[in-house]
Amino acid sequence: MVESLLGKRMACVLALAAAPLFAQSGDAAKGKAVVESSGCLRCHRIGENGSRTGPNLSEIGDKRSAEQLKTSITDPDAEVLAENRFVAVTLKDGSVVRGRILNHDAMSVQLIDGKQNLRSFLTANIRGYTILTKGLMPKPNLTDEQVADVVAYLSTLKGTEAP
Amino acid sequence: MIAGVLRPLLVLACAAAMVSAQVTSERILHANKEPQNWLTYGGGYASQRYSLLTQLNPTNAKDLKLKWVYRPKYMEKMEATPLVVDGVLYTVQNSEVAALDAATGRIFWTFHYAVPPESNQYVMVVKGLAIAGDTLFWATYDGHLIAIDAKAGTAIWNKKLVDWHQGYQLNVAPLVVKDKLILGPATNEEGANCWVAAYDIKTGNELWRFYTAPISDDDPVAKTWFGDSWKHGGSPIWVTGSYDPETNLTFWGTGNPNPGWNGDKRPGDDLYSDCVVALDADTGKLKWHYQFTPHDEYDWDSVQVPVLATIPWEGKPRKVVLWANRNGFFYVLDRISGKFLLGKAFVKQTWNVGFDEVGRPMKAPGIDPKPTNGMHVLPGTQGGTNWYSPSFSPNTGLFYVSSWENYDAPTSKGLIEVWRPGGKYSGNSRPPGAPRRPRGAGRGPSPAFRTEAEGYGAVKALDPSTGQQKWEFKMVDYTESGVLTTASDLLFSGGKEGNFFALNARDGALLWHTNLGGTVASGPVTYLANGRQYVVVCADNAMYAFGLPDGAD
């Protein structure tokens, strides 16, 4: 199960954003605290903090509207961008390696696993693999107010300019 | 003394004789008697891309090693099928022909011709050369046919066949039949009416011409268009045809009608777009035709290579044309009469619900696109396959084709542009206010993340007697590679992933592969040099040769 990789506690965000009014209704500072205390960074990365396994949120405020961000929190399966898909690789011994898919072709598959290792498997050396498009992020247990706060915070993430 | 002087002279004389043997019409006719060479685009008049060489086989294919790389100084993509004649390999990019030592890849000579970039606004790529006698023939993108001395690399003559300012291009590898060069111009959605023609090998003078779109109201097929829509009907030629010496017929596939995505001005069948035409090679007279996609609004050019074969049919051998079409169907046609024998989908398709008794397709209800509705159709505009050369192995009896499976793209019927010479005339211009299509929406997600359901490339093996798929070798990304088979039951192909691989032609098992770091979009060929078998293929803008390690059996 993908959840075993991500951890049910990892109530995180992903992808998507909201009408400006929605974003404005939340408190970005409170949202930042929610993100940092709810395990989001065990999968996601913001700036220099968090994991590289899930989608990087450092510039998510530029990429997704507030409404999309809200949807991605309250209904994580509603829209998963192709580049955020995961893959489950079944090895010859039956064990499974999961992670975010980075590439694949007729001969091999590449991913970043839960420990942030870049890994590559030859299809000849595995039983097979499945690309996972749903169930990648558990729905966080947040109040409507907390969701609004998180969306407000994420909407402020516009990346940083190179010095 | 004397012997010491004579020996080198004799060796020199023998070597010279080997290199200088002219490629006569007789040699091309019997190309299968010299499998050490690759004399025509399709590996022989039947275009089977099947080699009788067996030095490489399913047992030793795993030992294949890189022997040499040829990287031209120009960065243009290479899609050409090379020719190999007695140890010399000839290849071409859009602006340069090169003669290489087939054993080492070292250059004997290069011949440069500057093609104006404006003549190639879609950056299309020349598909190959032809050779007759000691002369190479290159049809250039800006409309010239150039005869080149195969030994010296110098021009013998240069004849302008078409005017690119009028919307014409040449990118096809000519077909040599007796004393003629057969080829035709393309038009890249520019509404220039095209043709198949024969040109004198010695002079380049035109000997006959068969129009693939009408040029006058008097032409009976003008009635298959509507009004004067035939005037800008296109129907280009951009992949080499085949030749049957028994019937003296040459077979050519024709491209889509113009405007390609909007047929409202041309409500008929639009002959001879999307057809195979069987022409008398001496006169150009039409013997028969079959139209794969009447009134095309999906850009399903029928420029695939006609593969000629004799297959079991209802208990008897039958001479046929095998054709996996861009519209997603595999066809078997009688080679002599053109009679429709079989049409069977080789990829998922949604446009056709069957064929009538003469083989005319019956379109699915509601499948005709409307402007801006972006109706999805399978296969999408790039088709179930395209120009990539298929292969037929008489040894396995199977037909092999590079295919795009689960490829679903929206139609893009739009406004018809006002025709002007050399201007876009595609019928897919965006109406004012209509939303812009998302970039890449027609091909699904990036192949790096794509699932099988969202589309994949494959080499498919089909039983030509039934059209049934025997096996498929799946890739993640789509493929533009040709297919090569050998008498030892090897199959070579590749794809956009950059992989080049050898399969067992009987079951599709992967025997060997390597990654060339760029799209494989050419047809691999095989030959002997110094008694050793090589297989070469182009990826991106380089050519790679593989063979067994030195000293291997």
Which residue range(s) make up the domain with A97? 86-132
CA distance between the termini of chain B: 38
Q: Mean pLDDT in chain B?
A: 93
Catalytic residue among B269, B270, B299, B301: B299
CB pairs under 8 A between A and B: 40
- Give the residues of chain B that fall short of pLDDT 50: 1-19
CA distance between the termini of chain A: 41
Domain-embedded: residue A111: yes
- The strand pairing partners of B547, in sequence order, are B65
pLDDT of B440: 52
The DSSP line for A105-152 is -SSEEEEEETT--EEEEEGGGEEEEEEE-SS-SPPP---HHHHHHHHH
What ipTM was reported for this prediction? 0.84
Same domain, A46 and A30: yes
State whether A102 and B448 contact (CB < 8 Å): yes
pLDDT of B433: 74
Of the partner residues B451, B473, B497, the one whose CB lies closest to the CB of residue A105? B497
pLDDT of B120: 82
State whether B473 and A106 contact (CB < 8 Å): yes
Q: Does B333 touch chain A (CB under 8 A)?
A: no
Q: What is the pLDDT of residues B109-156, one digit of tens each?
A: 999 999 998 888 777 899 999 999 999 999 999 999 999 999 999 999
Q: The whole model's pTM is what?
A: 0.91
Look up B356 and say whether it is catalytic: no
- Number of folded domains that form chain A: 2
Q: Which residue has the tokens 């090169």?
A: B98
Q: What are A's interface residues with B at a Cβ cutoff of 8 A?
A: 82-83, 85, 101-107, 124, 131, 133
Same domain, A128 and A90: yes
For an interface test with A, the pick among B449, B450, B473, B519 (most A C-beta atoms closer than 10 Å) comes out as: B449
Same domain, A23 and A75: yes
The CATH number of residue A113's host domain is 2.30.30.100
State whether B475 and A101 contact (CB < 8 Å): no
Q: Does B517 touch chain A (CB under 8 A)?
A: no
Domain-embedded: residue A137: no
CA pseudo-torsion sign B20, B21, B25, B28: negative
d(CA B142, CA B357): 43
d(CA B237, CA A129): 43
State whether A85 and B449 contact (CB < 8 Å): yes
Domain-embedded: residue A122: yes
Nearest CA in chain A to B509: A124
Chain B nearest CA to A7, separation (Å): 23
Q: How many CA atoms lie within 13 A of B412 on its CB side?
A: 22
Task: Tell me the residues of chain B between 462 and 491 that have a Cβ less than 8 Å away from chain A.
Answer: 473-477
Same domain, A71 and A121: no
Contacts of A102 in chain B (CB under 8 A): 448
If one counts every other C-beta atom within 10 angstroms of the C-beta of residue B201, the result is 22
Domain-embedded: residue A18: yes
Domain-embedded: residue A52: yes
Same domain, A38 and A115: no
Q: Does B503 touch chain A (CB under 8 A)?
A: no
CA distance readout (Å), B333 to B251, B306, B311, B365: 12, 10, 11, 26
State whether B446 and A133 contact (CB < 8 Å): no
pLDDT of A5: 35
Same domain, A61 and A102: no
Task: Report mean pLDDT in 10-residue bins for chain A, 163 residues.
Answer: 34 40 78 94 94 94 94 94 96 97 96 95 96 92 95 91 53
Superfamily for the B22-432+441-547 domain? Quinoprotein alcohol dehydrogenase-like superfamily (2.140.10.10)
Q: What is the pLDDT of residues B218-259, one digit of tens each?
A: 999 999 999 999 999 999 999 999 999 999 999 999 999 999
Nearest CA in chain A to B459: A106
Domain-embedded: residue A33: yes
Q: Does B450 touch chain A (CB under 8 A)?
A: yes
Of the partner residues A102, A106, A133, the one whose CB lies closest to the CB of residue B499? A106
- The strand pairing partners of A33, in sequence order, are none
d(CA B445, CA B312): 42
pLDDT of A9: 34
Q: Which tokens hold the place of A26? A: 């939340």
For an interface test with A, the pick among B476, B477, B478 (most A C-beta atoms closer than 10 Å) comes out as: B476
Domain-embedded: residue A162: no
Same domain, A34 and A94: no
State whether A106 and B447 contact (CB < 8 Å): no
State whether B497 and A83 contact (CB < 8 Å): no
Quote helix, strand, coil % in chain B, to nearest 5: 10, 35, 55
State whether A101 and B449 contact (CB < 8 Å): yes
pLDDT of A1: 29
If one counts every other C-beta atom within 10 angstroms of the C-beta of residue B86, the result is 17
